[in-house]
């Protein structure tokens, strides 16, 4: 009986983890193509959440703001952002921007998207500024 219960608990944990992997984006993570399509309908606010050094080395030409998620700039500025606007966030790989987008969602922002990494976006036709 104990082994069955332990096995059942293990199986439930595995399914919960798998479900979490597949549903963790909650519509937040979008592809470069989806980003382009969304921009055609609603320009929104594009935020680079990388460090100032990364931003200065090159960023998307359409970037509206640079708010470093690692040093607290992003977290300190987030309460001042308009929750009714659409936000597109990017970083180097999509990890930090994904974390930042999820923070925004948890804070009540409705239209927030993680559009991924800078190099990927440039490779898919987005103009960069050096």
* Residue 7, CA atoms < 13 Å, CB-side half-sphere: 4
Q: Is residue 44 in a domain? A: yes
The domain of 47 spans: 27-129
Beta 59-60 vs 128-129: how paired, if at all?
antiparallel
4-25 pLDDT per residue, tens: 454 544 444 444 444 443 434 5
CATH of the domain at 84: 3.40.250.10
Across the chain, mean pLDDT equals: 86
Q: Is residue 10 in a domain? A: no
**pTM over the 0.75 mark:** yes
Is residue 80 over pLDDT 60?
A: yes
15-61 pLDDT per residue, tens: 444 444 343 456 899 999 999 999 999 899 999 999 999 999 999 99
Looking at the chain, the whole-number percentage of residues with pLDDT higher than 70 is 80
Q: Is residue 102 in a domain? A: yes
Split into its structural domains, the chain has a count of 1
Beta 59-60 vs 65-66: how paired, if at all?
unpaired
Phi/psi for 63 (5° steps) reads: -65, 130
């Amino acid at each position: 009986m104990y082994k069955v219960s332990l096995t059942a608990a293990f199986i439930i944990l595995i399914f919960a983890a798998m479900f979490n992997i597949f549903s963790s984006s909650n519509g937040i993570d979008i592809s470069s193509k989806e980003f382009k399509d969304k921009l055609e309908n609603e320009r929104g606010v594009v935020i680079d959440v990388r460090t100032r050094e990364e931003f200065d080395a090159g960023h998307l030409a359409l970037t509206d703001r640079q708010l470093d998620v690692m040093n607290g700039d992003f977290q300190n500025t987030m309460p001042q952002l308009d929750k009714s606007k659409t936000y597109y966030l990017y970083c180097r790989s999509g990890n930090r921007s994904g974390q930042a987008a999820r923070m925004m969602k948890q804070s009540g922002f409705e239209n927030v998207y993680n559009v991924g990494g800078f190099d990927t976006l440039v490779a898919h036709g987005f103009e960069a500024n050096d």
